[in-house]
Structure 1
Amino acid sequence: MAAEQEEEPDPGPCPCPGVTGGERGTARGCRCSALPAPRQGAMEKARRRLREFDVGDKFSRLPRPRAAVLLPLTVRGGQLHLLLTVRSMQLRRSPGEVCFPGGKREATDKDDIDTALREAKEEVGLQPEKVEVICRLMPGIDKMNNLVTPVVGFVEDTFEVTPNPDEVSEVFFVPLEYFVKPLNYKTFSYKTSSGYLTRIHCFIYDDQEHRKSFKIWGLTAHFAVFLALVIFGERPTFEVDYDLDNLILSSENYFINLYASVHERKKSNL
């Protein structure tokens, strides 16, 4: 007697902006992966949680230079992992630092999702159609005062990384859980150029695959921590700047206060 076929999980409505009725499929303008919905329970739970925190284009009209990064999630060994890159030493800004694929918005980009997908293709060879875009999370502000939007997407574990050596020197994967239960972590206070006092997370991750350690800190660590908080819904082993009982509201308040401090400083310099 043939085994009963497992029912494919419903991937839910498409989160891509401009798609009528939330229907998936490239013919309707959907940029989600056309591949079957992943069967892993971890990814299904993550989908549900992430959709609750999707900010969409809520902050798209703020008058700041824009950038976006892709937070690529994949399942390895039954665990959610994040893809991260190391910036090439040839780059003028932040050479050798760990970051997500991403960069500044270009005139040809329709939105932050376009920016993140384009940059991921340029930096690590990740084709846009191979990414199932799930949501956009609360933005942050980088050292250059750009408004940076994190775009979360699922990538199949069969994806073969092809780093662009002009931009990326290494690519590695970190279990997402490491950003709530790290083995090597420290934090320090940091005052932004606008005078806003914030907390900086710093993780040291020992990668057995590369047999080396990577330092993950700053805005990259900030996005990774928030992503882990959203998906796992549990308290980390360290302090964060959010009310974990009301993560949606407190994360929005955190960003609004940060943005206001930058915006006021700009106005005062006029």
Structure 2
Amino acid sequence: MSRPSASPERVRNSLIDDAKTCLKKYDVGTKYSHLSSNKYSVLLPLLGKEGKLHLLFTLRSEKRDTLISPVVGFIDHTFQAQPNPDEVKSVFLVPLEYFLQPGVYHQNYVTHCGHHVIIHCFEYTNPEDGVTYQIEGLTAKFALFLALIILGKKPIFEMEFNLSDLISSSEETFLKLNKHATSKL
């Protein structure tokens, strides 16, 4: 006798519950809130779709020389974006696993303020409309970090994070630029 497969809703809820459990292990709360007066948060909206977690992206501009904290939020799978066209050019989903096993990827190495930095560059072609998007810089670094936390697997490319010690390696990585910026004061 064959078992009935889990409903899409049950699979989605399980994915989200598992992701929340992984994220709780790495929540630093307000540990770094004292580091900069220029603070911003970036929402990393996750949703379960077709048995996988996806990140929702918008094309926008990134601010420089600020402390930016990633904030993970979960949105309902039925969410339909209605962006203001004056602020957001497009909205698209990327499977979270893509940031560990991308179809098209390259990286650049730069030295900034005496620190060696890897700039991750993901190229993602949306299967729904065929449009190709570039995901790079801090957005790519946050997406990669989120995939490492939730999926717990090593990517197919070189990275700056140590999978067996994500907290320490992420602190080192994300604070490099902030240390330089605050030393100018």
**Structures share a fold, TM > 0.5?**
yes
Q: Residues 14-29 of structure 1: matches in 2 within 5 Å?
A: none
In structure 1, stretches of 5+ residues that fail to align are: 1-5, 7-36, 88-93, 95-141
SS in 2 for 1:40: helix
Deviation at 1:249, TM superposition (A): 1.7
Deviation at 1:196, TM superposition (A): 3.0
Secondary structure of residue in 2 paired with 1:168: coil
Q: Which runs of 5+ in 2 are unaligned?
A: 1-5
User: Is the Cα contact below 8 Å between 1:195 and 1:261 reproduced in 2?
Assistant: no
Higher mean Cα deviation, 228-237 or 61-70? 61-70
Q: How high is the TM-score relative to the length of structure 1?
A: 0.62
Change (3 A) 1:186 1:231: same
Contact kept in structure 2, 1:196 and 1:261, CA below 8 Å = no
Residue 117 of structure 2 corresponds to which residue in structure 1? 198
2:127 maps to which residue? 208
Change (3 A) 1:191 1:64: farther
User: Which of 155, 160, 163 pairs up with 1:236?
Assistant: 155
Label 1:143 to 1:196 Cα distance change in 2 as closer, same or farther (>3 A). farther
Contact 1:38 1:44 in 2 (8 A): no
1:1-270 to structure 2, matched below 5 A, reads 40-87=13-60, 94=61, 144-192=64-112, 194-264=113-183, 266-267=184-185
CA–CA distance in structure 2, aligned partners of residues 38 and 206 of structure 1: 26
Runs (4+) of structure 1 exceeding 6 A deviation are none
RMSD between aligned residues: 2.1
Q: What amino acid maps onto 1:154 in structure 2? A: F
Percent identical among aligned pairs is 45
The amino acid of 2:151's aligned partner reads: F
Deviations 1:208-237 (A, max 9, x none): 112111110000000000000000111110
| Structure 2 equivalent of residue 123 of structure 1 | none
The CA deviation at 1:42 is 1.6
Q: Is the 8 A contact 2:101 2:155 kept in 1?
A: yes
Size of the aligned set, in residue pairs, is: 178
CA drift at 1:242: 1.6
Question: What CA distance in whole angstroms lies between the structure 2 residues aligned with 1:38 and 1:47?
Answer: 14
Structure 2 CA distance for partners of 1:212 and 1:63, relative to 1, 3 Å: closer
2:3 maps to none
How far apart, in 2, do the equivalents of 1:257 and 1:160 lie?
Answer: 37
Q: CA deviation at 1:256?
A: 3.4
SS of residue matched to 2:40: strand
Question: Is contact 2:161–2:170 with CA below 8 Å preserved after alignment?
Answer: yes
Q: Secondary structure at the match of 1:245?
A: helix
Residue 82 of structure 1 and its aligned partner are, at CA, apart by 0.4
Q: 1:39 to 1:184 in 2, by over 3 A?
A: closer
Larger radius of gyration between Structure 1 and Structure 2: 1
Cα contact 2:44–2:56 (8 A) shared by 1 = yes
Q: Following the alignment from structure 1 to structure 2, what is the Cα–Cα distance between the partners of residues 181 and 199?
A: 17
Structure 1 position 195, deviation (Å): 4.2
The answer for the alignment partner of 1:111 in structure 2 is none
